[in-house]
Amino acid sequence: MFLSRQRRFPRRRTSVGAAREFTTSTLASWGLNDLQDDIRLCVSELATNALLHGVPPGREFCVRLDMDDSSVRLEVRDSGEGCPEARSPDAEEETGRGLCLVSALADDCGVTDHVVGKSVWLHFKLKPELEGAG
């Protein structure tokens, strides 16, 4: 079984919370309560990065969730240029840990370039008891 949902969000601070709510409600409707905390944190980080670095004024970003029998894919697409890179911030720095965090929580991650913009994606394997849920 394959399930998919996506939603666009405007370039506003409140969109990060809206992306978390969209993700949480989607995962709940698919019966994936065990993955909600990790994926919710990851969408928050990716949406924040999209707003800060990838969404020009007047544009939107898109959150997409796909589920098949073995995994969930979270994708955040924006229209910005460049490829995000994980940093190694000093202990005193207050930012720069997001990509390290999401890559530690996900089973796989990457970036897909598009003619305009990019998608940052994460894969989360379903636990055997969750496979086929939805």
Which range is most confident: 90-94, 114-118, 121-125? 121-125
At residue 95, the pLDDT reads 59
Q: At residue 89, does pLDDT exceed 60?
A: no
**Full residue range of the structural domain in which residue 80 is found:** 3-125
In a domain, 130, yes or no: no
Task: pLDDT band for 85, please (50, 70, 90 cuts).
Answer: low
Higher pLDDT: 56 or 85? It is: 56
Residues 107 and 97: their CA atoms lie apart, in Å, by: 18
Number of domains in the chain: 1
The number of helices, as runs of H, and strands, as runs of E, in the chain is: 3, 5
Q: How confident is the model at residue 15 (pLDDT cuts 50, 70, 90)?
A: very high
Q: For the segment 24-76, what is each residue's pLDDT rounded down to a tens digit?
A: 999 999 999 999 999 999 999 999 999 988 888 889 999 999 999 999 999 99
Q: Quick one: which of 61, 81, 57, 74 has its CA closest to 125?
A: 74
What value does the mean pLDDT of the chain take? Answer: 88
- Which CATH number goes with the domain that contains 69? 3.30.565.10
134 belongs to a structural domain: no
Scored b (16 or more CB within 10 A) or e, 84-116 reads beeeeeeeeeeeeebbeebeebbeebeeeeeee
Whether 133 is in a domain gets the answer no
| 29 in Cβ contact with 21 (< 8 Å) | no
**In terms of pLDDT, which residue wins out, 91 or 70?**
70
Q: 131 in a domain, yes or no?
A: no
> 50: how many CB neighbours lie within 10 A of its CB?
30
Q: What is the pLDDT of residue 41?
A: 96
Given a cut of 70, whether residue 131 has pLDDT beyond it is no
